[in-house]
Chains A and B, each alone.
Chain A
Amino acid sequence: MHLAYPAVLSALLFSTGLYGVLARRNAILVLMSVELMLNAVNLNLVAFDVWLSRAAEETLHSGQALTLFTIAIAAAEIGIGLAIVLAVYRNRGTSDIDKLRDTAEGHETDGRGTDGSDSEAPAAQKAEATA
Chain B
Amino acid sequence: MSLAAAAAATATVAHAATTAAGATVAHTATTAAGATTTAADTHGFLSPTGVEIAFLLVGLVTLGAAIVSVTTRQLVHAALWLVVALGGLAVEYLLLTAEFIAWVQVLIYVGSVVVLLLFGLMLTRAPIGRSPDADSGNRWVALTVAVASAAALVWVVVDAFRTTWIDLDGAAAGSTEVTGKALFQNWVLPFEALSVLLLAALVGAIVLSRKAKANPPAVVTSAANEPADNETPASGTAASGPAASGTADPEKEGAR
Q: Secondary structure at chain B's binding surface: helix, strand, loop or mixed?
A: helix
Q: Secondary structure at chain A's binding surface: helix, strand, loop or mixed?
A: helix
Q: Mark B152-178, 1 if CB is under 8 A from A, else 0.
A: 011001100110111110100110001
Query: Known contacts being A11-B150, A76-B201, is A55 close to B167, with CB within 8 Å?
Result: yes
Contact segment of B8-16, B17-25, B88-96? B88-96
Query: Known contacts being A8-B157, A50-B96, is A16 close to B146, with CB within 8 Å?
Result: yes
* Residue numbers in B under 8 Å from A32 (CB-CB): 69-70, 78-79, 82, 117
Quick check: A130 and B231 within 8 Å, CB to CB? yes
* Residue numbers in A under 8 Å from B179 (CB-CB): 61, 64-65, 68
Query: Known contacts being A6-B55, A46-B98, A64-B98, is A1 close to B85, with CB within 8 Å?
Result: no
Quick check: A12 and B150 within 8 Å, CB to CB? yes
Query: Known contacts being A15-B150, A22-B138, is A28 close to B182, with CB within 8 Å?
Result: no
Query: Known contacts being A1-B168, A8-B157, is A22 close to B78, with CB within 8 Å?
Result: no
* Residue numbers in A under 8 Å from B105 (CB-CB): 42, 71
Q: Can you name the residue of chain A whose Cβ is closest to the Cβ of B152? A: A11
Contact partner, A2, options B43, B78, B112, Cβ 8 Å: B43
Quick check: B124 and A13 within 8 Å, CB to CB? no
Cα–Cα, bound, A68→B198 (Å): 13
Is A54 among interface residues, defined by CB-CB distance under 8 A? Answer: yes
Q: Tell me the count of chain A residues lying within 8 A, CB to CB, of chain B.
A: 80
* Residue numbers in B under 8 Å from A17 (CB-CB): 66, 70
* Residue numbers in A under 8 Å from B82 (CB-CB): 32, 35-36
* Residue numbers in A under 8 Å from B97 (CB-CB): 50
Query: Known contacts being A68-B104, A131-B214, is A2 close to B164, with CB within 8 Å?
Result: yes
Quick check: B120 and A23 within 8 Å, CB to CB? no
* Residue numbers in A under 8 Å from B145 (CB-CB): 18-19, 22
Quick check: A11 and B153 within 8 Å, CB to CB? yes
Quick check: B138 and A23 within 8 Å, CB to CB? yes
Q: Mark A18-46, 1 if CB is under 8 A from B, else 0.
A: 11101111101101110110010011001
Q: Mark B44-74, 1 if CB is under 8 A from A, else 0.
A: 0000110110011001001100110110000
Q: Which 8 A-B pairs give the minimum distances between C-beta atoms?
A: A20-B70, A22-B142, A76-B201, A61-B182, A19-B146, A15-B150, A11-B153, A83-B208
- A-to-B contact residues, CB < 8 Å: 1-9, 11-20, 22-26, 28-29, 31-33, 35-36, 39, 42-43, 46-47, 49-51, 53-55, 59-62, 64-65, 67-69, 71-80, 82-87, 89-91, 95-96, 98, 105-106, 124, 127-128, 130-131
- B-to-A contact residues, CB < 8 Å: 35, 43, 48-49, 51-52, 55-56, 59, 62-63, 66-67, 69-70, 75, 78-79, 82, 85-86, 89, 92-93, 95-98, 100-101, 104-105, 108-109, 112-113, 116-117, 119-121, 123-124, 126, 133-139, 141-143, 145-147, 149-150, 153-154, 157-158, 161-162, 164-168, 170, 173-174, 178-179, 182-183, 186-187, 190-191, 194, 197-198, 201-202, 204-206, 208-216, 218, 231, 234-235, 237-238, 241, 245, 248, 252, 256
